[in-house]
């Protein structure tokens, strides 16, 4: 009995460490690799090293490393929340876990219908990964979602899902769906390709514009405080007083609100597009005919 309790506590510590250590690792990595420089610059993801590949070299960038850190962190969080589940919920963490699962299931059932109720884990994964990636900016780290490659990867995954569910009724029906009014076929094909592009650019543009505006504001406030307090003697004259607190107000909007909203919208659009691509009536009609034949 005593032994069990100790093991439970030990596992808990391991899971909490799994949640926190990746973020600490990211901050240490950032401190070690950022060169000392004057002023603030806006740049893309840093490239740590490049792996030689036959066709195209594979650069390992900040965004890849940080998205792996986020994934490890989320895994730790999930393991911590589901550790020691009981049939009747009596701990706080089980209540939180149940609340998350129930709400995601409700969201998916409400937006996608009965046939897609197995999509809840996928949607929850997209929501969690996207939200925590954007929230990583709160620690001063590079948010993976402000790299177009990351969001484009997710959008291409969604595009494959859409195509798969359109193909469910056979390739002929898939080809026919483009020529709905036959004259508009080129436009329909462009629209099909535009779906993943707009999803990727929407998410990336929102997060990136937030970080660019934050950097511009920080630089501006530095200059302003140099003008206002520049006459003060010694250390007081050099310290950027106006940078205290004011950028935090914008950060609440750009990092927290905008990041979470974009995560929600990405998940919502995934649900709507995938559910809209599936022609349920036709599929069940064909299935019934096939069943009658055999």
Partner 1 sequence: MLELAIGIILGSCALGAGIAMIAGIGPGIGEGNAVAKACEAIGRQPECKGNVTTTMLMGCAIAETTGLYALVIAILLIFVAPGRLVDILMETIK
Site residues, partner 1 (CB under 8 A): 42, 44, 148, 198, 201-202, 204-206, 208-209, 212, 261-262, 264-265, 268
Find the shortest distance in angstroms from Cβ 261 to partner 1.
6
Q: Which is nearer to partner 1, 100 or 265 (CB)?
A: 265
- Find tokens 């510590």 and name the residue: 13
Find the shortest distance in angstroms from Cβ 291 to partner 1.
39
Q: Which is nearer to partner 1, 75 or 219 (CB)?
A: 219
Task: Tell me how far apart the alpha carbons of residues 2 and 76 are, in angstroms, rounded to a whole number.
Answer: 25
CA R_g for the chain: 24
Query: For residue 196, which of 166, 153, 256, 238 has the smallest C-alpha distance?
Result: 153
**Residue 62: phi, psi to the nearest 5?**
-55, -40
Q: Which is nearer to partner 1, 67 or 262 (CB)?
A: 262
Find the shortest distance in angstroms from Cβ 208 to partner 1.
7
Find the shortest distance in angstroms from Cβ 202 to partner 1.
5
Residue 221: CB atoms within 10 A of its CB come to: 17
Find the shortest distance in angstroms from Cβ 219 to partner 1.
15
- Find tokens 């909007």 and name the residue: 253
Q: Which is nearer to partner 1, 33 or 198 (CB)?
A: 198
Find the shortest distance in angstroms from Cβ 201 to partner 1.
6
Find the shortest distance in angstroms from Cβ 43 to partner 1.
8
Partners of residue 89 on adjacent β-strands: none
In three-state secondary structure terms, 48 is strand
Here the tokens at position 290 are 């096939």
Q: Which is nearer to partner 1, 201 or 239 (CB)?
A: 201
Assign residue 245 a region: left if phi > 0, alpha if psi is -120 to 50, beta otherwise? left
- Find tokens 């901050």 and name the residue: 27
Contacts of 11 (CB under 8 A, 6+ apart): 83
**Residue 47: phi, psi to the nearest 5?**
-100, 120
Q: Which is nearer to partner 1, 70 or 271 (CB)?
A: 271
Q: Which is nearer to partner 1, 194 or 288 (CB)?
A: 194
């Amino acid at each position: 009995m005593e032994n069990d309790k100790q093991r439970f506590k030990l596992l808990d510590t391991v899971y909490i460490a799994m949640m926190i250590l990746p973020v600490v690792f990211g901050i240490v990595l950032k401190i070690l690799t950022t060169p000392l420089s004057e002023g603030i610059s806006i740049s893309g993801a840093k490239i740590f090293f490049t792996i030689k590949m036959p066709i195209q070299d594979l650069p390992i960038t900040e965004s890849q490393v940080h998205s792996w850190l986020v994934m490890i962190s989320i895994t730790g969080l999930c393991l911590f929340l589901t550790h020691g589940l009981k049939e009747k919920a009596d701990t706080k963490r089980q209540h939180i876990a149940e609340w998350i699962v129930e709400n995601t299931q409700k969201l998916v059932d409400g937006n996608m219908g009965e046939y897609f109720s197995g999509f809840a884990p996928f949607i929850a994964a997209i929501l969690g990964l996207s939200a925590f990636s954007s929230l990583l900016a709160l620690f001063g780290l590079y948010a993976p979602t402000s790299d177009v490659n990351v969001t484009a990867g997710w959008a291409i995954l969604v595009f494959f899902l859409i195509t798969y569910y359109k193909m469910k009724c056979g390739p002929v029906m898939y080809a026919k769906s483009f020529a709905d009014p036959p004259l508009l076929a080129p436009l329909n094909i462009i629209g099909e390709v535009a779906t993943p592009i707009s999803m990727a650019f929407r998410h990336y543009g929102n997060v990136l514009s937030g970080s660019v505006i934050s950097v511009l504001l920080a630089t501006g406030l530095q200059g302003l405080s140099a003008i206002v307090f520049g006459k003060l003697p010694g250390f007081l004259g050099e310290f950027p007083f106006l940078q205290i607190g004011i950028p935090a107000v914008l950060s609440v909007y750009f990092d927290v609100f905008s990041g979470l909203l974009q995560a929600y919208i990405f998940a919502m659009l995934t649900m709507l597009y995938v559910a809209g691509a599936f022609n349920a009536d036709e599929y069940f009609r064909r299935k019934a005919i096939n069943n009658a034949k055999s």
